[in-house]
Amino acid sequence: MKIVELAARIFETAERIQVEHMAVGAIAAGAYGIPRATKDVDLLVSVDPGKGIHTLMGALDEWISFDGQTQFDTITWGRRHVGVSKEPPPYKVELFEMFDDPFVRSEFSRRVQKFVPLLSRSIWLPTAEDVIVQKLRWGRTKDLDDARDVTAVQGPETLDTGYIERWCTEHGTAERWTSLLESLPSL
């Protein structure tokens, strides 16, 4: 199985059972920037008891084995459920629980459906601005590269830079945003 096939199954299942979700990580960044190879599928998922993360995990049981232990993620500051695809090669699936963080709540409320050519389907995604803010917040090298790529591909002039600057100021990542803008080649 290919990662895009697994991702399509996950998104189709979440839509079919009506669990609120959105792609995060490399899939979200690649939808707005430059796609990069990944061996995992990351989703931020509602924790609604009726139609939330546990409902989705049960519906994905045919393709994914989830670890019974919930993990605390030190980068996102949230809880996540990690699974591995049952068909080879093994791909990791991370379902991040929606949590009470002002930015995460804002990001989730602003999500949009967008056609992703790599998956040949529309999926729920954060906005381009929210991908940039989140990637700057996480601050790992690959996240900063993703934030730069999304900004470059979308073009700073098309982005709501006031929104980005407001969250970067709140997160203490304004210097990262400034450095990113300064690193973009002039056209």
**pLDDT score recorded for residue 34:** 93
187 belongs to a structural domain = no
Name the percent of the chain lying above pLDDT 90.
Answer: 79
Which residue range(s) make up the domain with 176? 127-182
Does 118 share its domain with 141?
Answer: no
Does 8 share its domain with 89?
Answer: yes
**pLDDT score recorded for residue 80:** 87
Number of domains in the chain: 2
**pLDDT score recorded for residue 183:** 95
- Mean pLDDT along residues 1-29: 94
| Residue at which a domain ends, from 82, 111, 126 | 126
Task: Dump pLDDT digits (tens) for 118-170.
Answer: 899 999 999 999 999 999 999 999 999 999 999 999 999 999 999 999 999 99
Does 15 share its domain with 105?
Answer: yes
Name the percent of the chain lying above pLDDT 70.
Answer: 96
**pLDDT score recorded for residue 36:** 85
**pLDDT score recorded for residue 105:** 93
Asked if residue 124 lies in contact with residue 108, where contact means CB atoms within 8 angstroms, the answer is no
| Residue at which a domain ends, from 79, 101, 126 | 126
- Mean pLDDT along residues 172-178: 98
Does 120 share its domain with 132?
Answer: no
Task: Dump pLDDT digits (tens) for 45-71.
Answer: 987 767 778 899 999 999 999 988 777
Does 87 share its domain with 154?
Answer: no
139 belongs to a structural domain = yes
128-138 vs 141-154: helix crossing angle, rounded to 10: 160
**pLDDT score recorded for residue 175:** 98
Token look-up 């609120």 returns 20
CATH number at residue 61: 3.30.460
**pLDDT score recorded for residue 159:** 98
Q: Helix, strand or coil for residue 57?
A: helix
Q: Distance between CA atoms of 103 and 109, rounded to whole angstroms? A: 10
